[in-house]
Structure 1
Amino acid sequence: MNALLISAAQRDALARWLDHLRALDAAAANTLTAYARDVTGFLGFLASHHGEAAGLSAIAHVDQSDLRSWMAHERGRGIAARSLARALSAVKNFIAWVADRENVDATAVLSARSPKFRRKLPRPLSVEGARDMIDQVGAQRDDWIAARDVAVVTLLYGCGLRISEALGLTGAVHPLPDTLRILGKGGKERIVPTLPATRAAIAEYARQCPYDLTRNAPLFRGARGGALNPRLIALVMEKARLQLGLPATATPHAMRHSFATHLLSAGGDLRAIQELLGHASLSTTQAYTAVDAARLMEVYEKAHPRA
């Protein structure tokens, strides 16, 4: 959509809205980039749809027919329902922000329904698969880098961290304490406990690492001493999964999925797991209940006697 059609007033409003999200909601940079792209596309469509660029009042008075026309246009371009639902959420947030400043009631347009889509379920490893993955990662080499890779993967599984969170740790956390303070998506802070196996893996890596793990430098180092590239962990796990015959979904993020699913299977409280994962919404964590139920039915089908 031609962004040149957007008026100066709308551009200014978009910039101020993004500043608002950045300052008050601590939205992540990638989220803001996606929001800017989605809303810019909508505003460009709106100007084209009505034949002219307009000011803020046009945004505040958008109706459901405008949204439906835009969504139909996006689907016609091949945009998937999941992506369109995310874009609609950004657009509605922006419209609400503008309407509030224009003193307009946007309740009707904000009630527009998102397109339906089937949510992808997390793809965790089994308990045995997670353990085998950690062992196989360690078997790839016989030097300090193997100890490093084992420490990272153990941390992902033992604490449920995102790869960015694990590689964002500095030497200040060594030796690993009983709990870690993690700064996650959107600046959301959480406390996660560490297991003895995780602390032992980090200690062994630190013992073998040829670089000084100073407080302000990255905890996990590349071969030349710089910050570890997450792609290297993805590659070592890819090699290990091929050797183990595990599916392509056995990625670094799958270790986080495995952490949550195995906690739930062991009777963990869903709210507590939400806090450990740093999910803003419980509905995100609830996806793991579907995984747990699916696994239960799979076991049932295999084990239950048939008449």
Structure 2
Amino acid sequence: MTPLRQRMLEDMSIRNLATNTQMSYVQQVAAYAKYFRRPPQELGPEDIRTYQLYLLETRKLAPSSIGLATGALRFLYKVTLKQPWAVEEIPMPKRPFKLPVILSREEVMHFLEAVSSLKHRTLLTAIYAAGLRVSEATHLKITDIDSQRMMLRVDQGKGQKDRYVMLSPRLLDTLRLYWKAARPTLWLFPGDLPDQPITRDAVGQACQKAHRASGIAKPITPHSLRHAFATHLLEAGTNVRTIQLLLGHRSLATTSRYLKVASSTVCATTSPFDLLPKVEEPPPLTPTPPAHF
């Protein structure tokens, strides 16, 4: 390990950045140095601009992927290398605002029925029933189930924050049936190695397989179930602030985007077209006879 990488890892650890963030930032800086075949200390703003254009025009990466690389370089040059130009000279790409595609309740049920594995179906059901992120669901432990208070404990979710979410009676029954069949000991959803939780990739592959089997045309990822959880709660009349707490969102603005997709808000207002007096239907078109020459 180079001294620079060690220093950057120490800087991230001091600031208590999540482990996944640390790994991603180190990988991004390594790819950046490999592209120029020079150490980052010898590179500057123009090199960063060249690299961003390479990611955009040659690699054809999405703004979110370029933003990850940019975040890593900003940290490197501002915190670890302490360059005064760091933030000002490293532009962050603007991400396009996209609304999530929402599954209906019937589509959620149909999708879950298409999941063939009991473990995968139970995990994906928990994501929908409690609004979990996939990383939160994969890291659930047996001890996180509080059937007395009907709560699930989310240990160190995004932003390294603990929170409690609802444990519905139906989900509790589902978890109990799964436990009787699988008998997990530490992790609720163990991976190939019993002392390790199931991986995100394994959940993603199971989701893709079920998506194909379901025949649902809408795109579906594990996160789609979390989107559906929030939207269905909102449509049922749950307060936005309550949904924010359940989802573990830092900002209410993040949760409020579901107002844009919930049928209870989008469809609650009558279209002015429906208020117009009924207009008589126009007479059917008379086919024009063919011209004769």
Q: TM-score, normalised by structure 1?
A: 0.68
Once the two structures are superposed, the pairs formed by residues 142-161 of structure 1 within 5 Å of their partners are 146=118, 148-161=119-132
Query: Which string of whole-angstrom CA distances, capped at 9 and with x for unpartnered residues, describes residues 5-46 of structure 1?
Result: xxx9xx5234322232234324123x3232123223445667
1:78 and 1:131 mapped to 2: Cα distance? 38
The amino acid that maps onto 1:197 is R
- Cα gap change, 1:234/1:115 in structure 2, threshold over 3 Å: closer, same or farther? closer
2:190 and 2:72 mapped to 1: Cα distance? 37
1:40 and 1:223 mapped to 2: Cα distance? 30
Which residue in the other structure is 2:7 paired with? 16
Q: Does residue 94 in structure 1 map to residue 76 in structure 2?
A: yes
1:240 and 1:270 mapped to 2: Cα distance? 31
Q: Does residue 32 in structure 1 map to residue 22 in structure 2?
A: yes
CA shift, 1:199, in A, is: 1.4
Which residue in the other structure is 1:80 paired with? 61
Q: Name which of 229, 244, 248 aligns with 1:278.
A: 248
The amino acid that maps onto 1:203 is R
Whether the aligned pair in 1 keeps the contact of 2:5 and 2:26 (CA below 8 Å) is: yes
- Cα gap change, 1:127/1:111 in structure 2, threshold over 3 Å: closer, same or farther? farther
CA shift, 1:117, in A, is: 3.9
Which residue in the other structure is 1:4 paired with? none
Once the two structures are superposed, the pairs formed by residues 1-307 of structure 1 within 5 Å of their partners are 11-29=2-20, 31-43=21-33, 55=41, 62-63=44-45, 65-82=46-63, 83-98=65-80, 100=82, 105-106=84-85, 109-110=87-88, 112-134=90-112, 136-137=113-114, 146=118, 148-173=119-144, 176=147, 177-183=149-155, 184-207=157-180, 209=181, 211-214=182-185, 217-220=186-189, 237-238=207-208, 240-242=210-212, 244-247=214-217, 249-280=219-250, 284-292=254-262, 297=266, 305=274
SS at structure 2 position matched to 1:305: helix
The amino acid that maps onto 1:39 is V
CA RMSD of aligned residues (A): 4.0
2:190 and 2:85 mapped to 1: Cα distance? 51
SS at structure 2 position matched to 1:181: strand
CA shift, 1:249, in A, is: 2.0
Query: Which string of whole-angstrom CA distances, capped at 9 and with x for unpartnered residues, describes residues 41-62 of structure 1?
Result: 44566776xxxx674xx67xx4
1:280 and 1:263 mapped to 2: Cα distance? 19
The amino acid that maps onto 1:181 is R
Which residue in the other structure is 1:5 paired with? none
- Aligned-pair identity in percent equals 27
1:114 and 1:261 mapped to 2: Cα distance? 30
Structure with higher Rg: it is 2
SS at structure 1 position matched to 2:96: coil
- Cα gap change, 1:304/1:240 in structure 2, threshold over 3 Å: closer, same or farther? farther
The number of equivalent residue pairs is 272
Which residue in the other structure is 2:284 paired with? none
- Cα gap change, 1:66/1:195 in structure 2, threshold over 3 Å: closer, same or farther? same
- Cα gap change, 1:199/1:37 in structure 2, threshold over 3 Å: closer, same or farther? same
Query: Which string of whole-angstrom CA distances, capped at 9 and with x for unpartnered residues, describes residues 236-277 of structure 1?
Result: 655554454313523332211211222233344444434322
CA shift, 1:159, in A, is: 0.6
Q: TM-score, normalised by structure 2?
A: 0.71
1:54 and 1:151 mapped to 2: Cα distance? 46
- Cα gap change, 1:13/1:262 in structure 2, threshold over 3 Å: closer, same or farther? same
The amino acid that maps onto 2:101 is R
Query: Which string of whole-angstrom CA distances, capped at 9 and with x for unpartnered residues, describes residues 212-252 of structure 1?
Result: 444xx232468998866666655665555445431352333
2:76 and 2:247 mapped to 1: Cα distance? 28
Q: Which has the higher helix share?
A: 1
1:174 and 1:272 mapped to 2: Cα distance? 21
